[in-house]
Amino acid sequence: MYNPLELSQSIEKIVCRYRHRKYFRFRAARYYGGISTGDVVGCNLKCCYCYVFQPRERPAEIGRFYSPEEAASILIKIAEKHEFSKIRLSGGEPTICRRHLIKLLETIPDNFTFIVETNGILLGYDKTYVRDLAKFDNVLVRVSLKGCTPQEFSKITGAIPQTFEYQLLALRNCVEVGVECYPAILLDIIDRKNLPLLKKRLDEIDESLWKNLDTSEVLLLYPHVKRRMEAVGFKMS
């Protein structure tokens, strides 16, 4: 098992160069009714169901560095071309490379909603990061929960169980600081008997979180994903 905070530090050394960050592609995506997307290299979790495998496992070899201004320019052009009102970073963990993300947010006009798709580890660990996000009125944080319990989180990610708490702390920090947020979970990989436990934890933070839980994500069962899931004990048909 590994500690996601320690992995964050090692990945940051590879994919961040002060304000520059590694991306492996930019694209228009259908999610959220249409969204301009920058796919970043590097993640601090190793989820067994993740289909973005090479950029996660080979961050030194994949992608190229972009300044915040370069990335913003590309994302805005995609959004304007397709008449999208939303922009996001995806493919990896966007909160790695904090300087880059904050400067990118400063560069994106606030008529676009910027969705921070995150596992929440770094936002839960450091509340000052959430305070930085609170400076932007157009930010929406989506915390992708990797299970309902510490044990489920550990099975899915391979990380030490107690770091599951950082995911919930990210939501708590956002609520307390005033950053709009909501949780999401992939129902295909969890034991649904644990959902009441998750509801209790979310209600302890804010009852709106459970009401706004996003369950729309679906499992993309590519052959390499299926092999990894079976290797950690998931029974795949």
What is the pLDDT confidence band of residue 151, given thresholds at 50, 70 and 90? very high
The answer to whether 183 and 150 have CB atoms below 8 angstroms apart is no
Distance in angstroms (rounded) separating the CA atoms of residues 11 and 60:
9
Residues 134-160 have a mean pLDDT of 97
Output the pLDDT for position 222: 74
Output the pLDDT for position 193: 96
| Res 237 pLDDT > 70 | no
List the domain boundaries for the chain: 4-231
Which helix or strand (DSSP H or E) is residue 90 part of?
Answer: strand 86-90
> Which residues have CB under 8 Å from 147's CB, separation 6+?
153, 154, 155, 156, 157, 164, 185, 189, 190, 194
| Res 65 pLDDT > 80 | yes
Alpha-helical (H) ranges within 86-163 are: 98-107, 121-125, 127-133, 150-157
Please compute Rg for the chain using Cα positions.
17
Whose structure tokens read 């899931």? 229
Residues 132-142 have a mean pLDDT of 98
Output the pLDDT for position 236: 66
Output the pLDDT for position 120: 98
Q: What is the pLDDT of residues 72-121, one digit of tens each?
A: 999 999 999 999 999 999 999 999 999 999 999 999 999 999 999 999 99
What is the pLDDT confidence band of residue 231, given thresholds at 50, 70 and 90? confident
Maximum C-alpha span of the chain:
46
Residues 2-25 have a mean pLDDT of 97
Indicate the SS3 state at residue 137: coil
| Res 8 pLDDT > 70 | yes
Q: What is the mean pLDDT of the chain?
A: 95
CATH code for the domain defined by 4-231: 3.20.20.70
Whose structure tokens read 């899915």? 156
Write the single-letter amino acid at 90: S
Indicate the SS3 state at residue 64: strand
Distance in angstroms (rounded) separating the CA atoms of residues 62 and 21:
12
Among candidate residues 225, 189, 185, 220, the one with its CA nearest the CA of residue 53: 225
Q: When comparing pLDDT for 230 and 134, which is higher?
A: 134
Indicate the SS3 state at residue 42: coil
Output the pLDDT for position 56: 77
